[in-house]
Amino acid sequence: MLTGMHIAVIGGDARQLEVIRKLIELDAKLSLVGFDQLDHGFTGASKEQIDEVDFSTVSAIILPVPGTNLEGQVDTIFSNEKIILTEELVKQTPAHCTIYSGITNGYLDQLVLSTNRKLVQLFERDDVAIYNAIPTVEGTIMMVIQHTDITIHNSKIAVLGLGRVGMSVARTFSVLGANVRVGARKSEHIARIFEMGLTPFLLKDLSTSVSDVDVVINTIPHLIVTSDVISKMPAHTLIIDLASKPGGTDFRYAEKRGIKALLAPGLPGIVAPKTAGQIVANVLSQLLKDGLEGRKEN
C-alpha cells in the first residue's frame, strides 16, 4: 500500500487514468494537475493547478509518457492550461522525490541534474517495453490493413531492427503468413533472425533489400530509411515508422516520391489506452512501493 504517500500526477492522456485508478486503490494521496476538463471524478484525488500543489510533501512526480517538451511544458488532453515543470517547483520537493516519465530529453536531464532528483524512465525498462510491444504490434497490423490493398498473408515485409518491438513485430507478421525479412547490424541479431525462421540481412545492405517489399516497418530511432533507400522501393511500398519522434525516415523525400510513410510512435496509447495504462500503472505502483519500503528501512 501507498497510504499517505503524496504523489503529483501531471498531465497525460487516457493512459494516466489507469495510473490514477491504481494509485487510488493503493491509498496514495494524489494531486492531479492538468485534469480540470476530466468529467470523471476520482474519490481520494484532488484536481489542482500546478501552483496550488504543496510540492514540499510530494514524494513522486508522475509525468506522461513523453515527459516534457524542450521548454518543460507537459502535454495533457484534459486541460487547456499551460503546464510547465520548472526547476523552482522541483526544488521544493523532498530530497527523496522521484520523477517518473516514459522517456527523457535534454530539458528533463538538466532538470534532475540541477535539482539533484532521481528520474526513472519507464520505457527504458525491459518489462514495460516488452509488455508495450503487444499493443504496438496490434496497432501496426491495423495500420497495414488500413493502408494497403493486399493481404498480409504472402506479402513481403521488411522489419528494421531486432529490439524488443522489432522482434515481436517480425514474429507476429510471420505467423500471419507474411514473408518477413529483418535488418540488423549485430551478428548475434542476424543469427537470432535466422533461428526464428526469418530472412536476415545486414542494415548496410538496406538499399538493395527493399527493392521488392510491400511494407517497411522501422523500429530504429535514427535516420535509416534515407532518400537513397526510399528511391529503391517500389512505388506501392508502405513505410510505418514506430521509432520515437522524429522517427528514422526521410518523410519529405517519401512524400516527394509518392510513397506513403506514416510516423506512428505511441501506438499503445492510441489503439489500447486502457491496456497501455495498466501496463504503466502496474510497473509504476511496484516501483513506488519499493521506494517507500526502502525509505522506511533507512
Three-state SS letters, the chain: CCCCCEEEEECECHHHHHHHHHHHHCCCEEEEECCCCCCCCCCCEEEECHHHCCHHHEEEEECCCCCCCCCCEECECCCCCCEECCHHHHHCCCCCCEEEECCCCHHHHHHHHHHCCEEEEHHHCHHHHHHHHHHHHHHHHHHHHHHCCCCCCCCEEEEECCCHHHHHHHHHHHHCCCEEEEEECCHHHHHHHHHCCCEEEEHHHHHHHCCCCCEEEECCCCCCECHHHHHCCCCCCEEEECCCCCCCECHHHHHHHCCEEEECCCHHHHHCHHHHHHHHHHHHHHHHHHHHHHHHHC
Give the confidence band of 298 by pLDDT, cuts at 50, 70, 90: low
pLDDT tens per residue across span 104-115: 999 999 999 999
- Whether pLDDT at 294 is above 80: no
What residue type is assigned to position 30 of the chain?
L
pLDDT tens per residue across span 177-219: 999 999 999 999 999 999 999 999 999 999 999 999 999 999 9
pLDDT tens per residue across span 44-66: 799 999 999 999 999 999 999 98
* Residue 120: predicted pLDDT: 97
* Residue 278: predicted pLDDT: 96
CA distance 154 to 233: 18
pLDDT tens per residue across span 246-285: 899 999 999 999 999 999 988 998 999 999 999 999 999 9
Over range 67-78, report the average pLDDT: 95
Report pTM: 0.86
pLDDT > 90 fraction of the chain, expressed in percent and rounded? 90
* Residue 41: predicted pLDDT: 72
